[in-house]
Chain A
Amino acid sequence: MSSLKFVLSASASQRVHDILSCLSKFSEYVCLEARRNRFTLSALNSTKSAYGGISLSSGEFFESYSFEAIGSNESTEPPRFTCRLYSKALLAAFRQRYSDSKGSSAIDRCEVSFEDDPSRPECRILVQLVCGHGVLKTYKLTYEEVEVMAPVFDKGQAPNRWTVQARLMKEYMEHFGPKAEGLDITSNNGRAVFTSFTEKVTDGKEILKLPMHTSIALDTSGFDDWLAEDKVNVAISLKDMKAIIMHAASLNTTISTFYSEAGRPFQVTYDHEGMRCQFTLMTMTQVSNSQTFAAITRVNNRPAPGPTPLHTPGPAPRSSAPLFRAGASQRDSTQSQQAIQGDYEESYRPQTQPVQTQFQVNTLTQRILPHQSSPQAISQVPPSQHVPQGLFLPYDTEDEDSDDDDLGKGLEEWEPRLRWDSGCNDNAMPSILVVRDQIAPGIRVDEREDEKESEEEEEEEDMGPMVGPTQQVSQARGLFDF
């Protein structure tokens, strides 16, 4: 049981509204997480291929903020409260602002408190907008307490990065057609190329259904920073990126991106006045043939020596074995779709299970930290026994500040692998076992974040039990299932 109250100024309420409208583009649920000195709103999309988390610092963002966890919390972890609710519901509470902002009944401040009283049948958030002329608008919203899952992204493993003004990116985004689905990012010889494309395969007869590709080539000198390797292609969902850029542009800030290669996660971060925003997107595992854009070479105005060979990445070079052994088969679009699904499974740890063959299970368990293994392993072993001792530090060595720095932790503090974290649930709240063929947000708690200090990097993980695949590939959710 815990109590959480905070007060937002009028402009902060506006910010929260913007955050919610951005997160609502990812998922219909928004997850809230409260700690002693920060409050995080996050959303995870239904295919678990995109995550957005915005962390508000209690000192800077709120007029006042108080969070106390009352009740039995172990001394090994800081107090933490998580829940989720429909983003539309929360958005509705904050939306009122627009009509009021001009009138005399403008919002003066917004007071939010969480009623977490076991004696009452429902958990409620109380949002009160104190407006001019003594008008008080009260919203009571129900929420459910669930564990929140957050991805772990190792910036150290993401050598490719660039920084740019969000406003500039927004202008570029406007050139892309509204129906385009994917955004491919690459660079060559001082020119960066952003291309929008659609994956759909059509037979060319219905001309209206053929996709329009748009390509923007710019000098990397236009960016604040461009530290990405040439000829590396990554492709992300254009809609997700648009939502992120729109939000960042509204704050007039600079965005930074971090990525490594196709198939590995891609992160966009930006900060503004006590808000720390972080979005992690999954990239498509391989750039299929249809995406090797002629534009990449054509727009290279520099005299290139003859026709530059188009960059056909083919199967993305990854440390793990390809899911389909025959390399040629990956050219075929249907198989590439499956490859995407399969790869997605691999990188995103199961809620879905890795694809069959014993070989792959072996390979996968090398990549994925096995003590963090699948829900089945967890269901077999009670959580408390499952966690190696080294992960969790004694409570007293932890700083207050470490909460704040979690999202921005650098290389030395994260495990040297990119993956989703389904850390074991250590606190008193019951963990929610997810039905494996249903993808629902709010699954596992990311305990790692609070407990780790920089020194405690885990090098060795014990190999957990080998678990056979338990889900059909056909049931697995892919990146772009329709």
Chain B
Amino acid sequence: MRFKTDITNITTFTKLISCLSSISKVAWLKLDEEQIHFTLMQEPTVQVFATLSKETLFSTYRIASASSNTINLEVPLPILLRALRSCASSPTATLRLTKRAADNVPILCITVSTTPSSSTLVTQEVPVRVLAPATVAGLCEPEVPPPQVSVVLPGLAAVRGVVERMNRLGVKRVRLEARRTQGGGREFRMGVVGEEVTVESVWRGLGTGLAYYMSSLSD
């Protein structure tokens, strides 16, 4: 089993891992010849299925394994994040799967030069666990029925601001609603009901994402 690649887009990679690590501490990382898959299924309330093509993050991508050149790893996200953060200052880094000589623990080894010209090399070793194909065979994204309404959310910064304000009201659940209005546009509502206060935000005149969804299904 071999895996070695250059990380060309460290910033995006770091942001992705940062986002994922706030949801769960452990991820299943599946590497195959063309794509990278991150699956987070540990939390009971939320699961994440992320797929990227290898060119998004990597170049000079080399992978080889006994099971159709696919490698499945269990990766601790906070540690990976820490390792990536220390690479922030340089444009490229190398990522490699190997074993720590001392105790034979498989690791993802990230090697980076602190500045492009310097010969200072920083190596971060992230311990991982190799998952057998049998273990992951059963894990897959759940089937989601086709949508009845699809709406493109308003700017995420605005939505986030609203969510944060609602969060401070001490409520646990938020109700999301999307509907098609008379004029054909779409409306999106978020509402919380607290002990003393009810807050609802409505966005109108939004577009539909249905066309995009249909086209991605046919891929």
Name A289's closest neighbour in chain B (CB-CB): B102
**A175-B86, A294-B101 known; A214 vs B122 contact (CB < 8 Å):** yes
For B77, give the chain A residue with the smallest CB separation: A208
B60 vs chain A, min Cβ distance (A): 17
Report the stretch among B11-19, B124-132, B158-166 that lies at the interface: B124-132
Say whether A214 contacts B103, CB under 8 Å.
no
Knowing A177-B79, A212-B82 are in contact, say whether A222-B125 is a contact too (CB < 8 A): no
Contact: B124 with A214, CB < 8 Å?
yes
B120 proximal to A (CB < 8 A): yes
A393 CB, nearest partner CB in chain B, Å = 49
In the assembled complex, which residues on chain B have CB atoms less than 8 Å from the CB atom of A217?
A: 120-123
Q: Provide the residues of chain B in CB contact with A222, threshold 8 Å.
A: 118, 120
CB distance from B96 to the nearest CB of A (A): 9
**B40 interface contact, C-beta 8 A:** no
Are the CB atoms of B26 and A214 closer together than 8 Å?
no
A218 contacts the other chain (Cβ, under 8 Å)? Answer: yes
Interface string of B60-87 (1 = CB under 8 A from A): 0000000000000011101100110010
Residue interface mask A141-182, B partner, CB < 8 A = 1? 000000000000000000000000000000100110110000
How does the 8 Å CB contact mask read for B15-59 relative to A, with 1 for contact and 0 for none? Answer: 000000000011000000000000000000000000000000000
| Residues on the B chain within 8 Å of A301, using CB | 119, 121
Say whether chain A's binding surface is mostly helix, strand, loop, or mixed: mixed
A291 neighbours in B (Cβ, 8 Å) = 102
Contact with B101, one of A214, A215, A310 (Cβ below 8 angstroms): A310
Interface string of A200-229 (1 = CB under 8 A from B): 000010011011111111110010000000
Given the known interface contacts A175-B86, A207-B76, the answer about A289 and B125 at a Cβ–Cβ threshold of 8 Å is no
Contact B122 A175 (CB under 8 A): yes
B:126-170 near A, CB below 8 Å: 126-129
CA distance A224 to B217 in the complex (A): 61
Tell whether B92 is near chain A: CB-to-CB under 8 Å: no
Contact A214 B86 (CB under 8 A): yes
Instruction: Give the chain A neighbours of B78 by CB distance below 8 A.
Output: 208
B173 at the interface (CB under 8 A from A): no
Q: Are A212 and B120 in contact (CB under 8 A)?
A: no
A290 contacts partner chain B, Cβ-Cβ < 8 Å:
yes
Q: Choose among A171, A208, A218, A289 the residue that contacts B26 (Cβ–Cβ < 8 A).
A: A208
A222 (CB) vs chain B CBs: closest residue: B120
A126: Cβ under 8 A from any B Cβ: no
Is A294 touching B121 in the complex (CB atoms < 8 A)?
A: no
In the complex, chain B residues whose CB is within 8 Å of the CB of A214: 83, 86, 122-125
- A273 to B: closest C-beta gap in Å: 30
With CB as the reference atom, state the residue of chain B lying closest to A293.
B102
Write the nearest CB–CB distance from A68 to chain B, whole angstroms: 53
Cβ of B105 under 8 Å from chain A: yes
- Of the candidates A177, A207, A213, which one forms a contact with B100 in the assembled complex, judged by CB atoms under 8 Å apart? A213
Q: Residue of A at shortest CB range from B119? A: A219
Please name all residues of chain A whose beta carbon is closer than 8 Å to the beta carbon of B129 when the two chains form the complex.
Answer: 204, 207
Q: A207-B76, A217-B120, A222-B120 are in contact. Are A177 and B101 (CB under 8 A)?
A: no
Q: Which residues of B contact A215 (CB under 8 A)?
A: 122-125
Q: 8 Å CB contacts to B: which residues of A231-273?
A: none
Instruction: Give min CB distance, B85 to chain A, whole Å.
Output: 9
Q: Which residue of A lies closest to B126 (CB)?
A: A212
Report if A432 contacts B (CB, 8 A): no
Chain B residues with Cβ below 8 Å from A294 are: 98, 100-102
Given A292-B101, A294-B102, A299-B111, the answer on whether A213 and B120 have CB atoms closer than 8 Å is no
A294 vs B97: C-alpha distance when bound (angstroms): 13
Chain B's nearest CB lies how many Å from the CB of A28?
29
Q: Are A207 and B102 in contact (CB under 8 A)?
A: no
In the complex the two chains form, is A218's CB within 8 Å of B101's CB?
no
CB of B22 to closest CB in A, whole Å: 15
CB distance from B175 to the nearest CB of A (A): 34
**Cβ distance B24 to chain A, nearest Cβ, rounded Å:** 11
Q: B101 touching A293 by the CB < 8 A rule?
A: yes
Chain B, residues 88-126, CB within 8 Å of chain A (1/0): the string is 000000000010111101010101001000111111111
Known contacts A215-B123, A293-B102; can you find 10 more A-B pairs with CB under 8 A? A207-B128, A212-B82, A213-B124, A217-B120, A218-B121, A290-B102, A293-B100, A298-B111, A299-B121, A301-B121
B residues whose Cβ falls under 8 Å from a Cβ of A: 25-26, 74-76, 78-79, 82-83, 86, 98, 100-103, 105, 107, 109, 111, 114, 118-129
6 A-B pairs closest in CB distance: A210-B127, A294-B101, A215-B123, A213-B125, A218-B120, A175-B86
